[in-house]
């Protein structure tokens, strides 16, 4: 396993990060524990969660994922071995069961969310605390064609000031962004540097062979500002594994179970996906491992967030860390991308 510097911090995170959003929905606590132990044995020292997990978000399962992780730490006593990331939920995702749906990135909501996460996670600190998505209306979660709306949102200054207070209190070590835009990222960085507030060390956005839009406006920011990408959905909800080929819907698979996960199943995405899967097989590669290796190798990626619902999947994902794609495979990927660029943004 390779390790990379997290922003400008002294932390070194594994090139693969263990995602957790299925724990408490598709996975039991025992299965979550087993995944954590297997990931650790494979060299992973970085785990990502969020207060709203598991996904899809429901009132009945709200915060169950953090509870599972906290129970693991209590039972195994290895909290200090992990770089732990979590997120505070914002408005704009149709969530009404968290803090009565009146979600803001102001002092009241950030402090309440952070204190509750710390309690569930059974820890005194979170290494990386992220804003799950912008509070202001903008084009995140696959939205395209920015339409400006004059609406009130918590000033970024207030958000950074309260995060600064939490860093000084020792509750969090570093802050990060998620589902953020180039403007938002640069504005947060500019304010932090001018006011002496915590500087974002990472940005967690989607990135995979079907959605490389991060490359357009944010890749340069990530490299030049040392605010690297924590790539989520690197397998496009499992589409790039090939398991949904020809309309297949395996039992217990995410797209089979949850109709809301339709981002990567439009006709253009399915056509491009088939080409990537075929390319992998032509070169004797596992399609999922090829897709993961591509993401992990990008110079703007700090860590690639892998998720699994079985140890078999997790073992395969871990093996991708050792895969180096040949020039011929990379050329094939670029040819497909040129013919069908970003079919599932």
Which residue numbers are catalytic? 53
Residue carrying structure tokens 């069908």: 340
Dihedral in degrees, nearest 10, Cα atoms 14, 330, 314, 180 = 60
Determine how many CB atoms are found less than 10 A away from the CB of residue 79: 17
Q: SS in 3 state form for the chain?
A: CCEEECCCCCCEEECEEEECCCECCCECHHHHHHHHHHHHHCCCCEEECCCCCCCCCCCCCCCHHHHHHHHHHHHHCCHHHCEEEEEECCCCCCCCCCHHHCCCCCHHHHHHHHHHHHHHHCCCCEEEEEECCCCCCCCCCCCCCCCCCCCCCCCHHHHHHHHHHHHHCCCEEEEEEECCCHHHHHHHHHHHHHHCCCCCCEEEEECECCECCHHHHCHHHHHHCCCEEEEECCCCCCHHHCCCHHHCCCCCCHHHHCCCCCCCCCHHHHHHHHHHHHHHHHCCCCHHHHHHHHHHCCCCEEEEEECCCCHHHHHHHHHHHHCCCCHHHHHHHHHHHHHCCCCCC
């Amino acid at each position: 396993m390779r390790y990379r510097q997290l922003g400008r911090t002294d932390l070194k995170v594994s090139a693969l990060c263990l995602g957790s959003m299925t724990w408490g929905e598709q996975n039991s606590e025992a299965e979550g524990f087993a995944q954590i132990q297997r990931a650790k044995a494979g060299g992973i020292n970085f785990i990502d969660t969020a207060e709203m997990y598991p996904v899809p978000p429901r009132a009945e399962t709200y915060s169950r994922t953090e509870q599972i992780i906290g129970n693991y730490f209590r039972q195994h006593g290895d909290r200090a071995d992990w770089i732990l990331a979590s997120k505070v939920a914002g408005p704009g995702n149709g969530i009404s069961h968290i803090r009565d749906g009146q979600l803001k990135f102001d002092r009241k909501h950030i402090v309440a969310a952070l204190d509750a996460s710390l309690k569930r996670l059974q820890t005194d600190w979170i290494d990386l605390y992220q804003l799950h998505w912008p509070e202001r209306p903008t084009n995140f979660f696959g939205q395209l064609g920015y339409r400006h709306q004059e609406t009130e949102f918590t000033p970024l200054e207030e958000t950074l000031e309260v995060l600064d207070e939490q860093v000084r209190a020792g509750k969090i070590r570093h802050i990060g962004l998620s589902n953020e835009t180039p403007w938002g990222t640069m504005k947060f960085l500019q304010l932090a540097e001018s006011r002496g507030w915590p500087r974002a060390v990472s940005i967690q956005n989607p990135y995979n062979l079907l959605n490389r839009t991060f490359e357009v406006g944010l890749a340069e920011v990530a490299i030049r500002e040392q605010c690297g990408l924590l790539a989520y959905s690197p397998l496009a909800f499992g589409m790039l594994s090939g398991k949904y080929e020809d309309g297949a819907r395996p039992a217990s698979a995410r797209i089979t179970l949850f109709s809301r996960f339709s981002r990567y199943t439009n006709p253009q995405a399915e056509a491009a996906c088939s080409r990537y899967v075929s390319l992998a097989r032509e070169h004797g590669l596992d399609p999922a491992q090829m897709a993961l290796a591509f993401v992990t190798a990008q110079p703007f990626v700090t860590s690639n967030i892998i998720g699994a619902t079985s140890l078999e999947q997790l073992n395969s994902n871990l093996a991708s860390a050792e895969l180096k794609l040949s020039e011929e495979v990379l050329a094939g990927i670029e040819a497909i991308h040129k013919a069908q660029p970003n079919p599932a943004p």
